[in-house]
Amino acid sequence: MASKIGHETQPHFSPHQRIRNMSETASPCDGRPEMTQLHPPPQTAANVESLEAYQAMYNESITDPDGFWSRMGKELVTWHREFDTVSHGSFAEGDIAWYLGGELNVSVNCLDRHLKTRGDKVALIWEGDEPGDVRKFTYRELHREVCKLASGMRDAGVKAGECVALYMPMVPEAIFAMLACARLGAPHSVVFAGFSADALRDRILDAGCRVVMTADQGVRGGRRTNLKKTVDEALLECPGVDLVIVHQRTGETGPDVPFVAGRDVYMADLMAKARPYCVPAVRNAEDTLFVLYTSGSTGRPKGVLHTSAGYLVWAMMTHKYTFDLRDDDVFACMADIGWITGHTYNCYGPLANGATSMLFESTPLYPDAGRYWDVVERHGVTQLYTAPTAIRALMKYGSEPVQKYDTSSLRVLGTVGEPIAPLAWNWYNEVVGAKQCTIVDTYWQTETGGHMLTALAGVTPTKPGSATLPFFGVKPAIVEPDTGNVIEGNEVEGVLVMQQPWPGMCRTVLGDHQRYLNTYMTAYSGNYFTGDGAIRDMDGYYWITGRVDDVVNVSGHRLGTAEIEAAVVNHDACVEAAAIGIPHELKGQDIFVYVILHNGYEPSDDLAHELRDAVKEGIGSFAKPAASNIVFVEGLPKTRSGKLMRRILRLIATGEESRLGDVSTLADPAVVPAIIAAVKAKR
Ligand code: WT7
């Protein structure tokens, strides 16, 4: 927890608190009828013949990974120089590398190599905030835009190896920027444009960026956000930034869109003067492609680092097989490029595969709950990829908004970000998919680069709420939380780990390799620790039960309790704060914060409001807790060694104090009834 009177003694996770007591039920599958509901795929796949073919391919990927990934690497990637060594390193050493000796440029793989065969194919369809506000780019056009931007950036001094920060709305220029960085060999660090100025500042400083790319304003759900203004605020404390490239999304001028002469340039001006061809930088397989910040259980967000060749292979493979990719598909990933889903499934996977990729600027509810289906009809979308939180929001409106449109082009429906409850799964399957689509529930993480557990469309029989089976090269295991012993067999529950390295995994945490080792490699030595709990059912299918550490998932946005607490404690009134996640009907989880005030401050609604604003300022509006979820307390439940008992805080917040059990070993057991009373008073 964050505290001004400071101590940081608690271990970084305590999974045993979150895994069901094994003796509570005979099997973790008891009382879950969905676990026996196998849905055979309603169509066949183009890329894998059958479940048996998947199994044979999967077995090869596990028993002969080098042979398998060598073949895939040669088949999928256009190399400047082919690799010598397929894989290197181990989890234990934390020195994983793939395709050593190989040289390539990722933008060449996404663009140049398609020009001969599909130069006139649409690469990118942009659907703007207003329905029907559409821009399309063929591969040839996209190549030209990316080249112009990359040339302009090179003219402006951007060098291979320097990290460029992107704070962009969902516009084609964001994709130009990512690919231009890739072309120059300058890793990008995309910061979700919903983050606050403080959060942006921290990420710019952490990666030592000199160049920031942004837009004047963002447009979403009929509203504008002043992105450039936020950038300027962040840059007040980033003396190292001397170039800001501004895309004019709205063209607005005036006080809401500041412009600093000498430092800021318009993207269009930069591109207008630049050569329309840009020589790609030759990159080594293990050179950094991008950094992406994500939250962990402790401390500040970490810059997860992905490299070039392995990530590219993973993005292409998963995009092709999970979504049963075909030539004429229109692939619509509704994520934001600020998250890993946007990186892998709006940009790198589809474009490297030569597919048509959609970029969606708006929301599922703008102007009404029919928006997705309107988009599907107008563009003939074949695969729709979204998050359970969007599905839950849409479900509330029933089937009518879906049925107003012709959605018969859909073949695959994807979900990602959090477990999807059977109710939402069935709605997606029946109402949206008319039982004619495969639901692919894709389990993965920022760190994994792409899908880890997922059905393959047209191949894997599905179950409502299960991420089903491992992708090629993924060797999952379930371990006992306390001992780390592998639990064999089916109908078991524990912590999910991966036993074998895969090409798409992140290689380090920017500037802090020790943190990478501590977070992923040492908790269950010899394995990659996911941070999630899982059940393996009677058929060997995986069911993610949620994070076992202090990571909260709000509407698919991953947040660490530590960063929320740090934001709250930033307020003068606050001595100490403890944040937890509690279940929320639409968002999946919501943030709940217990706050201890300094002497002289009195609890009040106004103060609660200020503390919520502190979270907004420290992280972003999307993280702001509900007013009812700020509770003032006098003390927090801690062990005698000072470890905060979040389990107790969670049970109290959800009204389950009857399940608390023995609290007498706490340093001060009297805090418990006081906290219960404070929470009750809020209801
Ligand atoms: C965490 C990773 C992967 C891109 C979006 C989120 C949860 C993700 C699923 C799923 C159950 C899921 C996990 C994971 N998660 N997908 N299909 N079923 N849980 O990436 O922000 O890095 O978050 O999201 O808890 O650890 P992320």
pLDDT per position as a tens digit, 256-268: 999 999 999 999 9
Whether 442 is in the pocket of ligand 1, judged by its Cβ within 6 Å, is yes
How far does Cα 561 stand from its chain's mean position?
Answer: 17
Whether 418 is in the pocket of ligand 1, judged by its Cβ within 6 Å, is yes
How far, in Å, CA of 271 to CA of 149, rounded?
5
Q: Cα(443) to centroid of ligand 1, in Å?
A: 6
Instruction: Specify burial of residue 251 (Cβ count, 10 A radius: 0-12, 13-18, 19+).
Output: exposed
- Sheet architecture: strand order including 412-416: 134-138, 122-127, 356-360, 330-333, 383-386, 412-416, 438-442
196-243 pLDDT, tens digit each: 999 999 999 999 999 999 999 999 999 999 999 999 999 999 999 999
Torsion angle defined by CA atoms of residues 285, 286, 287 and 292, in that order, rounded to the nearest 10 degrees: 120
pLDDT at 49 over 80: yes
For a substitution probing ligand 1, which of 558, 563, 622 has the most ligand atoms within 8 Å of its CB? 558
100-142 pLDDT, tens digit each: 999 999 999 999 999 999 999 999 999 999 999 999 999 999 9
Contact indicator for 104, 308 with CB cutoff of 8 Å: yes
Average pLDDT over residues 444-465: 98
For a substitution probing ligand 1, which of 532, 549, 552 has the most ligand atoms within 8 Å of its CB? 532
Whether 416 is in the pocket of ligand 1, judged by its Cβ within 6 Å, is yes
- Please give the biggest Cα pair distance in the chain: 74
User: For position 5, what pLDDT does the model report?
Assistant: 44
Q: What is the DSSP string of 419-471?
A: ---HHHHHHIIIIITTT-SEEEEEB--GGGSS-SB-PPTTTS-B-TT--BSBP
How far does Cα 213 stand from its chain's mean position?
Answer: 21
Q: What is the CA radius of gyration of the chain?
A: 24
User: For position 20, what pLDDT does the model report?
Assistant: 55
Instruction: Specify burial of residue 60 (Cβ count, 10 A radius: 0-12, 13-18, 19+).
Output: middle
Torsion angle defined by CA atoms of residues 158, 160, 162 and 164, in that order, rounded to the nearest 10 degrees: 60
Phi, psi of 87 (to 5 degrees): -140, 155
Amino acid, single-letter form, for residue 306: H
Q: Cα(168) to centroid of ligand 1, in Å?
A: 23
Average pLDDT over residues 32-51: 94
pLDDT band per the 50, 70, 90 thresholds, residue 4: very low
List the residue whose alpha carbon is closest to atom 23 of ligand 1.
445
Whether 591 is in the pocket of ligand 1, judged by its Cβ within 6 Å, is no
Contacts of 555 (CB under 8 A, 6+ apart): 387, 389, 586, 587, 588, 622
Q: Indicate the pTM of the whole model.
A: 0.94
pLDDT at 380 over 70: yes
User: What are 601's two structure tokens?
Assistant: 């401050």
How far, in Å, CA of 649 to CA of 10, rounded?
15
Average pLDDT over residues 600-615: 95
How far, in Å, CA of 34 to CA of 420, rounded?
12
User: 218-220 and 223-225: which strand pairing?
Assistant: antiparallel
Contacts of 187 (CB under 8 A, 6+ apart): 161, 162, 163, 164, 181, 288, 289, 290, 291, 305
pLDDT at 513 over 80: yes
pLDDT at 145 over 80: yes
**Could you identify the residue written with the tokens 């998947």?**
54
Q: Tell me what the pLDDT averaged over the chain comes to.
A: 95
User: For position 13, what pLDDT does the model report?
Assistant: 44
pLDDT band per the 50, 70, 90 thresholds, residue 683: confident
Q: Is 41 helix (H, G, I), strand (E, B) or coil?
A: coil
Whether the link from the prior residue into 367 is cis, omega within 30° of 0, is: yes
How far, in Å, CA of 86 to CA of 68, rounded?
10
User: 438-442 and 476-479: which strand pairing?
Assistant: unpaired
- Of 20-34, 493-507, 628-642, the one with minimum mean pLDDT is 20-34
For a substitution probing ligand 1, which of 306, 343, 347, 445 has the most ligand atoms within 8 Å of its CB? 445
Number of H helices, E strands in the chain: 21, 31
> How crowded is residue 600: how many other Cβ atoms within 10 Å of its Cβ?
6
Contacts of 673 (CB under 8 A, 6+ apart): none
Contacts of 543 (CB under 8 A, 6+ apart): 35, 419, 465, 466, 467, 534, 535, 536, 537
Quick one: the chain helix, strand, coil %, rounded to 5? 35, 25, 45
pLDDT at 519 over 70: yes
Whether 441 is in the pocket of ligand 1, judged by its Cβ within 6 Å, is yes
Phi, psi of 669 (to 5 degrees): -60, -20
Nearest to residue 44, comparing CAs of 578, 460, 640? 460
Whether 445 is in the pocket of ligand 1, judged by its Cβ within 6 Å, is yes
**What number does the ligand 1 atom closest to the CA of 446 have?**
22
Q: Cα(444) to centroid of ligand 1, in Å?
A: 5
- % of residues, the chain, pLDDT over 90: 92
Q: Is 494 helix (H, G, I), strand (E, B) or coil?
A: strand
Q: Cα(325) to centroid of ligand 1, in Å?
A: 22
Nearest to residue 428, comparing CAs of 461, 375, 390? 390
Contacts of 262 (CB under 8 A, 6+ apart): none
User: For position 7, what pLDDT does the model report?
Assistant: 34
Higher pLDDT, 453 or 1: 453
pLDDT at 579 over 60: yes
Whether 625 is in the pocket of ligand 1, judged by its Cβ within 6 Å, is no
User: For position 392, what pLDDT does the model report?
Assistant: 96
List the residue whose alpha carbon is closest to atom 24 of ligand 1.
417
Q: Cα(417) to centroid of ligand 1, in Å?
A: 4
Nearest to residue 162, comparing CAs of 512, 513, 517, 510? 510
Q: Where are the alpha helices (DSSP H) in 208-308?
A: 227-235, 267-272
Whether 341 is in the pocket of ligand 1, judged by its Cβ within 6 Å, is yes
User: For position 12, what pLDDT does the model report?
Assistant: 41
> Which residues are bridge partners to 509 per DSSP?
304
Q: Cα(416) to centroid of ligand 1, in Å?
A: 6
Q: Cα(314) to centroid of ligand 1, in Å?
A: 17
User: For position 10, what pLDDT does the model report?
Assistant: 36
> How crowded is residue 130: how many other Cβ atoms within 10 Å of its Cβ?
13
pLDDT at 91 over 90: yes
pLDDT band per the 50, 70, 90 thresholds, residue 297: confident
Phi and psi based region of residue 125 (left: phi greater than 0; alpha: psi -120 to 50; beta: remaining)? beta
Q: Cα(180) to centroid of ligand 1, in Å?
A: 28
Average pLDDT over residues 339-359: 98
List the residue whose alpha carbon is closest to atom 27 of ligand 1.
445
Whether 443 is in the pocket of ligand 1, judged by its Cβ within 6 Å, is yes
User: For position 18, what pLDDT does the model report?
Assistant: 55
pLDDT at 620 over 70: yes
How far, in Å, CA of 2 to CA of 358, rounded?
41
For a substitution probing ligand 1, which of 553, 563, 589, 619 has the most ligand atoms within 8 Å of its CB? 553
pLDDT at 440 over 80: yes
Contact indicator for 531, 562 with CB cutoff of 8 Å: no
Q: Cα(445) to centroid of ligand 1, in Å?
A: 5
Q: Cα(339) to centroid of ligand 1, in Å?
A: 11
pLDDT band per the 50, 70, 90 thresholds, residue 24: low
How far, in Å, CA of 506 to CA of 461, rounded?
30
User: What are 117's two structure tokens?
Assistant: 């065969």
Q: Cα(185) to centroid of ligand 1, in Å?
A: 28
